[in-house]
Amino acid sequence: MADPVNGNARRAKSVDIYAPQWRNFLFVAPYLTIFATLLVFPLFWGIWLSFHKADTFSSGRFIGFDNYVRLFRDGIFLQSIWNTFYFVFLTVPALALIGLFLALCLNRRTRSAAVLRTLFFSSSVLSVTIVTLVWRIVFIPDIGLLSMVFGVFGAKAPAFLSDPDLAMIGIAIATVWWCIGLPMMLFLSALQQIPQDIYEAAALDNANRWQTLWSITLPSIKRTFVLVIIIQIVLQFQLFGQSWLMTRGGPNNVTKPIVLYIYDTAFRRWDLGLGAAASEILFLLILIAAMAQYFVTRRKADA
């Protein structure tokens, strides 16, 4: 378009501050290097490995989908997938609901609430070793805390570590105790972002406690609820340490999750190709959950 006031020349001279410049690349180069060598390269190497018969001494020969076929004929692998889903089913709803409940209780400006918030969050900073140690002391038969408490009432404590029906539940209890801090904090920050004036409007609208909770508070944190569920699904799919340290995957593989199967296969039986294939299956499962998170968080507030 012709500019009558000699504007074309002026426009050519003006600086476009958003124009791409190569030197900007330097600022991302350090992270990009780490990202490429420690994440992108291993990812593709793992996929490549899963199509080969490999051990630690040779990268082996190409066998196509054989590793995947072997996986789905392996009863223990299928069991470990079932175990993992069962564990996610046990922990994720509990983490979301208990986290929400704690956040609702502790969303106030009193000193005791601040102390309790810190206390509930503090378990998150412990390492899995400490957490499992604590819960082994609780669960251990005859001399554990649970046994003592049940003993006072003359009852026998449930064998959370050795009963095949209870072992995964025991691990889930320890995990919820360990991980409850993050969901609680996410819910707390969501609750604090609800504007105070809509609570005032609700008070003038005759809403009682329950009506306010159901009609104002919960709809306002709906997106955070979905976010917490997805984050926890991704995290809990990666169960490993608790199972390994509390039950070694037993009794009879009922607490063996996918990651533990991968560890056993790749680093104890040295079948790297099969382990890599199992890793890709886990990767796919987590990817689905992560994609769900992406689409949920990308969708702007539907308010």
Question: Which residues contribute to the site for another protein (CB under 8 A)?
Answer: 195, 197-198, 200-208, 211, 215-216, 219-220, 222, 301, 303
Indicate the residue among 182 and 207 with the shorter CB distance to another protein.
Answer: 207
What's phi and psi for 53, nearest 5 deg? -90, 105
Closest distance between another protein and the C-beta of residue 212, in Å?
Answer: 10
Cα–Cα dist 225/221, whole Å: 6
Indicate the residue among 118 and 211 with the shorter CB distance to another protein.
Answer: 211
Query: Token pair of 106, please?
Result: 């502790």
Closest distance between another protein and the C-beta of residue 205, in Å?
Answer: 3
Closest CA to 50 of 299, 279, 220: 279
Indicate the residue among 35 and 214 with the shorter CB distance to another protein.
Answer: 214
Indicate the residue among 252 and 297 with the shorter CB distance to another protein.
Answer: 297
Indicate the residue among 55 and 200 with the shorter CB distance to another protein.
Answer: 200
Closest distance between another protein and the C-beta of residue 185, in Å?
Answer: 23
Closest distance between another protein and the C-beta of residue 223, in Å?
Answer: 10
Closest distance between another protein and the C-beta of residue 114, in Å?
Answer: 20
